[in-house]
Structures are given as C-alpha cells and as structure tokens.
Amino acid sequence: MTGAKRFELSDRAIIWLFLVPTLVLLIGMVGYPFVSLIILSFYRFSILRSEAGREYIGLENYDFLLDDPELWERFIFTGQFVVTSVTCQFIIGIFVAYHLQKSFRGRDIIFTVLMMPMMVCPIVVGFLWRYMFNSEWGVVNYLVTLTGSGKVDWLGVTDNALLAVVIADTWMWTPFVILLATAAFRGIPKVIYEAADIDGASAFYRFTRITLPLAAPILFIALLLRMIDSFKQYDLFFAMTGGGPGSTTQTVSFSLGKVAFSYFYTGEASALAVILLLIIIGLSLVLVRYLNLLSAKARG
C-alpha cells in the first residue's frame, strides 16, 4: 500500500515518541530552578551577600510573609487586577471575534492590524501608557477634557492607577483572546447555524446555546493562559506605577521583584514565589477540571 511506512510505529511508541522530547526539555530546563526555589525558600539567604552563606530557618520565611497584612492586601489587589483585566479581555475579545466571523473586504488586513498591541515589547507598552496617562499633558486626559470633565490623576490615585493598568493590559492582550476566539467560532460548521435559524433561535439564543458551548473548550484554554500570565504581570506595573502611590499598587509579582532585586532577600523571595505558585496552581486546577467537563460536552 502506497504511503504506509514499512516500519510502523505502534500507538504506544507514538505516545512515547511524541511526549518524551517535551518532557525531557521541560524537566531539564525547569527542574533545577524549581527545586532550588523550593529549597531556598527554607533558608535565609541573599545572593548579594552569598559569602555570608545561608542559614536554614525552616518555615520562618513563610511565617514572616503570611503574617504580614500588607501581603494579603497585595494578594487582594492582584486578584482584583487579574479578574478585572481578564474579564475585560474576554468580553471585548469574544465580542470582536463574533463580529469578525462574516467575511468582508480587507478583513485579513484589519485583523492583522488588530493583532498589533500584543506584539509590542511589554516594557515599551508600560512606558507608552504611562506617557499617555500623564495627568498634565497625557493624551488620555486630553480626550477626557474633550468630554467636558476635568483632568484625572491617573497614576497618583490607587483606584485610578489600577484602572489605568487594567486598560493598558486589556489593550495589550485582548488580541490574544480575539485570535483564539476567532479560531473557535470558525470551527462551528455553517450547517449548525442554518439549522438553528430554521429552528427559530434568535441571535442571542443561538449565541448562548450553540456558539458559546461549542467554542467553550478553546475559550477556556485561552482563559487559563490569560489568567496565568496576568498573575505574572510585572512590566506594566514597573513602568506605569512603580508600585505606587506608596506601595498600594504592588501586585504579588511586583512585590516579588522588589524583594528579590531591591532588597535581595533571595530566600524570602523564593518563599513568596512558592506561595504565588501555589495559588496559581490551585486556581488552574479548578479551571482545568471545568475545562475537561466542557470539552467532553462540546465534543458530543
């Protein structure tokens, strides 16, 4: 039979062959840092003063961190940021992707242009929005004054600053959602929409009962990825607020950067990283479980 390989790989061999390289690469790249991270979290250590050696202090780093009320505030703040930003990205992203479904002239050019925000270097994005949000001469405030209101102090007031960073983050990552949502929507066979039309479904009913459920698996993967990335967001806060005013817009990730590279409390930073990781892992597990349910349902 033409095309069939004389040397055939059993399914078992295929599984191994397809998975092992990835596994090897990841364990190789991530093993040492992961393990070191966890180990170091039990030590008092600073890379700056590495000659001073390290002192095993058990869970002291964790105690110290978890006792700090500011840390909890930062967690809440981080949660606010992640939820707000990801929600905005998804609502806007799905809306835009839905309307990009029909073909029109120039659609692929417009699509490419819409993808651009996520291509910009994150630090540059941060500086750009800082520049645009400047309360004195920033273009955002210019637009605000056009509507008649006075200038807003964006980056100097905590709530405004949060909003500003959310706006910047949403700007940057909505295209990610648009791209994946477009792919998901495109995958629904036209026949099903025709059947729904004939069955008498309104556009809304069709969207909620057919489009979304069938697109759900991919959308959830997008949600998972965006959520994980949002927790790591650092560049925007660094460039736009520097954690300020004061230290009110410090996310956990930002705090991590400070502890690691401003104070150089490497042990403590490691412990903080572990805590952050555990939270992300926890949330991801919940999401993944839900994703599996959705996938099974959508596949029929």
Partner 1 sequence: MTAGPSPVSRALHFLPVVLLLVYSFYNIGPMFWLVISSIKDRQDLFTFPPTLIFEPTWSGYQAVFGVGAAAGSAAAIGLVDALINSIVISVSGTVAAVALGTFAGYACSRFAFPGRNDFLFFVLSTRMLPPVAVLVFYHIMFSELGLADTRIGLILIATFINVGLATWIMKGFFDGVSTDIERIAINCGYSRFYAFRRLVVPQVKGGIAATSGFCFIFAWNEFAFASIISTTQAKTLPVKIASAMGATGLEWTQICAAGTVLIVPVVILFYFLRHYLLMGMTFGVLGRAK
Partner 2 sequence: MAAISIENLLVRFGDFRAVNKISLEIADGELVVFLGPSGCGKTTTLRCIAGLQEAQAGSIAFDGQPILELAPSARNVAMVFQSVSLYPHLSVAGNIAFPLKARGEPRQAVRERLDWVAGVLDLGAIMKRRPGGLPPGALQRVALARAIVRSPNVLLLDEPLSAVDEQFRENMRWELGHIQRELGVTTIYVTHDQREAMALADRIVLMRDGRIEQFGDADDLYFRPATAFTGYFIGSPSMNFFPLRLQDDGIELAAGGRLDGAAGEALQRALSGREGCRLGLRPQDLHLTAAARGPQLSGAAEILPYRQGSDRLFSFKLGEQVFLGSDRSDGAATAAIHLDLSRAFLFDAEDRRLAVDLGAREAVS
Residues found near partner 2 in the complex (CB under 8 A) = 189, 191-192, 194-202, 205, 209-210, 213-214, 297-300
Residue 64 contact partner, candidates partner 2, partner 1, none, CB within 5 to 8 A by sort of partner:
none
- State the nearest-atom distance from the C-beta of 223 to partner 2, in Å: 18
100 φ, ψ (degrees, to nearest 5): -85, 0
Q: Is 65 in the site for partner 1 (CB under 8 A)?
A: no
Q: Torsion angle of alpha carbons 65, 70, 75, 80, nearest 10°? A: 180
Among 158, 160, 247, 284, binds partner 1 (CB under 8 A): 284
Q: Per-residue string for binding with partner 1, 3-42, x by CB under 8 A? A: xxx--xx-x--xx-xxx-xxx-xx--xx-xxx-xx-----
CB atoms within 10 A of CB 232: 13
267: which 2 tokens? 């042990």
Among 54, 80, 117, 247, binds partner 1 (CB under 8 A): 117
Q: For residue 94, what are the contacts with CB-CB under 8 A and spacing of at least 6? A: 177, 181, 219
Q: Between residues 107 and 209, which has the closer beta carbon with respect to partner 1?
A: 107
Q: Is 200 in the site for partner 1 (CB under 8 A)?
A: no
- State the nearest-atom distance from the C-beta of 62 to partner 1, in Å: 15
Residue 66 contact partner, candidates partner 2, partner 1, none, CB within 5 to 8 A by sort of partner:
none
Closest CA to 131 of 142, 119, 146: 142
Q: Is 51 in the site for partner 1 (CB under 8 A)?
A: no
- Give dist(CA 162, CA 170) in Å, integer: 12
Under a CB-based contact definition with an 8 Å cutoff, are residues 165 and 237 in contact? yes
- Give dist(CA 225, CA 300) in Å, integer: 25
Considering only residues 131 through 150, tell me which ones interact with partner 1, judged by CB under 8 A: 131-132, 136-137, 139, 142
Q: Is 106 in the site for partner 1 (CB under 8 A)?
A: no
Question: Which run of H or E residues covers position 51?
Answer: none
- State the nearest-atom distance from the C-beta of 216 to partner 2, in Å: 8
Q: Between residues 59 and 139, which has the closer beta carbon with respect to partner 1?
A: 139
